[in-house]
Structure 1
Amino acid sequence: MKHLLASVGLVALAACSSTPGEVFRSYSETGSLVDSGDFGNANMNNHLVMTGEAGYVHSLGNRFASEVQTTVNFAFGSSQLDVGARDTLSEQARWIKQFPEVRFKVYGHTDKVGSNAYNKRLGQQRANTVVNYLVSQGISRSRLEAVVSFGETQPLIVTEGRERRNRRTVTEVTGFVQSHPVIMDGKYAQVVYRETILSAKPPSDLATVKENETIVMSSE
C-alpha cells in the first residue's frame, strides 16, 4: 500500500510539472519547477521597497514618460532609425543627461508577422540600435541596457497583420547607478526632485552644485 501511495504521489507531482514530461527531482529547490530560475526577485523587490528606492524609481519613471516621448517606431522588418526616431532619441538623450545617477532599459517589440524566433531577434536588434544611438549622443553605455526583447508578445494593437505601432522600442527608467556618490548616500529624493531642491538654494550654492554635476557628467 505504501509503495502504491508513493507511486501515485510521484505521478501527481510529475503531472504538475510546468514542462511536459519533466520528472520531479527531489534534489531541486522547492518550487523550482514553477519558478523558472527567478528566485531572489521577491527579496530584491522587498529591499527596494524598504529602502524607498522602488518608489523613487517609479516617480522618476512617470516623470520621464510625461516629459519625453519614450517610444520610437520602425519600418517593417527593419531595425534602422528614421528621421523621426532619431529626433525622439535625441530628446531622450537630453533628458537622460540631466540624471547621471539613473539607469535605463530599452525594450524591443515587433508586430505579429513572422516566426516568434525571428521577431525575438528583430526586437533585440531594435533595442540594440536605440542603445547605440543614445551612446552616440554622449550617454554612458553602462547606464543603458538592451537585454530584453518582447518580440511579438506585447502588441499595442492586437492584429496578425503588419502594424507600425507594434514595431517599436520603449525606453524606461529601471534604477539608480549604485556606485554614484549621491545614491550611495541614499539621497534618491535629491535626484528625483532636483529642480525643486536647487531652486531653494542660494545663488552661490547653486553654482557649486552645477559645477559638481558637470564634473560627474563629463566623467561618464
Structure 2
Amino acid sequence: MKHLVATAAIAVLLAGCTSGNTYFPTFDREAGSQIDTGSFGNSTMNNTLVQTGQSTYTINLARRFASEVETTVNFPFNSTALDEQARATLREQAQWIRQFPEVRFKVYGHTDLVGSQAYNRRLGLQRAQAVVLYLTSQGIGRDRLEAVVSFGETQPLVVTEGRERRNRRTVTEVSGFVENHPTIMNGRYGEVVFRDYVVSAAAPSTLTGGRGAQLAP
C-alpha cells in the first residue's frame, strides 16, 4: 500500500512539472534544448568553434559588448516605434559595432504578456527588425545583423499579466564572426577581441635628481 501511495505522489509531481509553463517554458526541457534545434552536425560545429578559439572569443567579446554598451531598448505598448532614448542607445551600439567589422550580431525581440502568444511573437520580431533597420541607418552592414529570432512573451523580465515596459524590449548580442572576413584567419581571434586593449607592460620611468641620477621605476 505504501508503495502505491508513493508511486501516486511521484506521478502527481511529474504531471505538475511537465504541464505547460506559461512564463518559463524552457524549465520543462533538458539543458541546451533551446539552442539545439536538432540539426545534424550541431555537436561537430560546436567542437570546431571551441577548438579554433572562435567560441571562446565570441563569448569574451559578447561580455565586453554587454559591459560597455547598453544592449537593451524598450518600446511603448503594442508598438515598434523607437523613442529618443531608444535611438540614443542604438547610436551607442552602432558606434561600438563599427569598431569590429568582423563581428556579427543578433537582435532578439520581446513583448509583455498582454495578447496571444502568436501575436506577440510577430510583434517581438517586428521590434527586432525595427532595431536592425535603425542600426543599418547608422552605417552597420545589413549582412552583419540578424533579426530572425523572437522570444515573444516567453522570457519576461517581470512576470505579470499586465502591461510592463521592461518586458517590451529588444536585446542586441554578439553572435559570431563574419565568414571569410579578411582579418579573421589563422585562428587569430584574440587580436580581434583584445584590439584597443593592448597596453605596454613596462611601468613608466622617472629621472631622479642629484649626483648619481638614475632611472627609477
- Normalising by structure 1, report the TM-score: 0.72
The secondary structure found in structure 2 opposite 1:100 is coil
The secondary structure found in structure 1 opposite 2:147 is strand
The secondary structure found in structure 1 opposite 2:148 is strand
**Deviation string, structure 1 residues 180-214 (Cα, Å, up to 9, x no partner):** 112133211111001134768xxxxxxxxxxxxxx
Name the residue aligned to 1:150: 151
Name the residue aligned to 1:61: 62
Name the residue aligned to 2:124: 123
Residue 160 (structure 1) shift: 1.1
The secondary structure found in structure 1 opposite 2:82 is coil
Native 8 Å contact 2:57 2:190 kept in 1 = yes
Q: Which piece of structure 1 moves more, 68-77 or 187-196?
A: 187-196
The secondary structure found in structure 1 opposite 2:150 is strand
Amino acid aligned to 1:127: A
What is the CA–CA distance in structure 2 between the aligned matches of 1:122 and 1:128, rounded to whole Å? 10
What is the CA–CA distance in structure 2 between the aligned matches of 1:188 and 1:63, rounded to whole Å? 14
- The aligned runs of 1:48-87 (5 Å cut-off) are 48-87=49-88
- Normalising by structure 2, report the TM-score: 0.73
Native 8 Å contact 1:104 1:143 kept in 2 = yes
**Deviation string, structure 1 residues 78-110 (Cα, Å, up to 9, x no partner):** 011000000000000000000001000000000
Output the aligned Cα RMSD: 1.5
Name the residue aligned to 1:174: 175
The structure that is helix-richer by fraction is 1
Shift of the 36–194 alpha-carbon distance from structure 1 to 2, 3 Å rule, reads closer
- Structure 1, unmatched stretches of 5+, are 1-34, 201-220
Aligned pair 1:104/2:124, yes or no?
Answer: no
Native 8 Å contact 1:178 1:184 kept in 2 = no
What is the CA–CA distance in structure 2 between the aligned matches of 1:191 and 1:199, rounded to whole Å? 18
Residue 128 (structure 1) shift: 0.2
What is the CA–CA distance in structure 1 between the aligned matches of 2:37 and 2:106, rounded to whole Å? 22
**Deviation string, structure 1 residues 89-145 (Cα, Å, up to 9, x no partner):** 000000000000100000000001000110000000000000000000000001000
Native 8 Å contact 1:71 1:169 kept in 2 = yes
What is the CA–CA distance in structure 1 between the aligned matches of 2:41 and 2:133, rounded to whole Å? 31
Residue 76 (structure 1) shift: 0.4
The secondary structure found in structure 2 opposite 1:155 is coil
Amino acid aligned to 1:133: Y
The secondary structure found in structure 1 opposite 2:62 is helix
Native 8 Å contact 2:158 2:164 kept in 1 = yes
| Structure with larger Rg | 2
What is the CA–CA distance in structure 2 between the aligned matches of 1:150 and 1:80, rounded to whole Å? 18
Residue 42 (structure 1) shift: 1.7
Shift of the 138–191 alpha-carbon distance from structure 1 to 2, 3 Å rule, reads same
Aligned pair 1:194/2:202, yes or no?
Answer: no
* Misfit runs of 4+, over 6 Å: none
Residue 161 (structure 1) shift: 1.0
Name the residue aligned to 1:29: none
The secondary structure found in structure 2 opposite 1:93 is helix
What is the CA–CA distance in structure 2 between the aligned matches of 1:36 and 1:99, rounded to whole Å? 29
**Deviation string, structure 1 residues 41-87 (Cα, Å, up to 9, x no partner):** 22211111111111000000000000000000000000110000000
